[in-house]
Chains A and B, each alone.
Chain A
């Protein structure tokens, strides 16, 4: 069955430090992969997407993610986090019916 796993429910990072959020997927074919961000009290916003080609993709707000087929992973990274990055981050994989299969989310907490 198709699934997305985000192993970390919460992550706490100091402001200015680097960030990596983990995402693992289970999908039979070549996956379409996404990261969405949900700021407090807001709806979700697309951060970045991978369809094919270069395995390192750039997104908005200085985020990037790397697709590693051998590890079935699509981890999200940022070199230096800002307090405004505090939010919940969702990884998702697109299935063959154009639907998204969502991970449970990782809540990012920024320490001043």
Chain B
């Protein structure tokens, strides 16, 4: 199993550009989530999904969109990048929403917005 994979590993965007961060898992997990990690702030939940076709907002959803058309994939879209979105982004998955405390993380995407 590859586990949770994320692409790209690094990305530099200009303000106003859009892009999609890719996330895939091969563990048949129902629950998937996106976090951003900023120095001194721990992880903050952006969006999550409890199954294909179902998504919901987390703590900091503004400026981001998600969709879940398949169990495996959970892409995160930045609609119009802003410098405040410079961060490290992690995708995570777990077997189900009830077990969502025990999450498997991808290696992260480091995004810089200039």
Q: Which residues of A contact B (CB under 8 A)?
A: 4, 9, 32, 34, 41-46, 49, 90, 92, 94, 98-100, 102-105
Contact = CB atoms under 8 A, between A and B. Distances in A.
A51 B94 CA distance: 17
A46 B97 contact: no
B102 A42 contact: no
Given A46-B102, A98-B100, A104 B40 contact: yes
Nearest to A46: B102
A98 B97 contact: yes
A49 B40 contact: no
Contacts of A94: 101
A45 B105 CA distance: 7
A102 B40 contact: no
A100 B90 contact: no
10 contacts: A43-B90, A44-B103, A90-B43, A92-B101, A99-B100, A100-B103, A102-B44, A103-B42, A104-B42, A105-B42
A43 B42 contact: no
A49 B42 contact: no
B101 A43 contact: no
A93 B45 CA distance: 14
Contacts of B41: 104
Contacts of B107: 41-43
Given A100-B103, A102-B44, 19 more contacts: A9-B40, A34-B102, A41-B107, A43-B4, A43-B90, A43-B105, A43-B107, A44-B43, A44-B103, A45-B105, A90-B43, A92-B101, A94-B101, A98-B97, A98-B101, A99-B100, A100-B43, A102-B42, A103-B42
B43 A49 contact: no
B98 interface: yes
B75 interface: no
A92 B107 CA distance: 19
A34 B101 CA distance: 8
A99 B58 contact: yes
Nearest to A91: B42
A21 to B, nearest CB: 14
A57 to B, nearest CB: 13
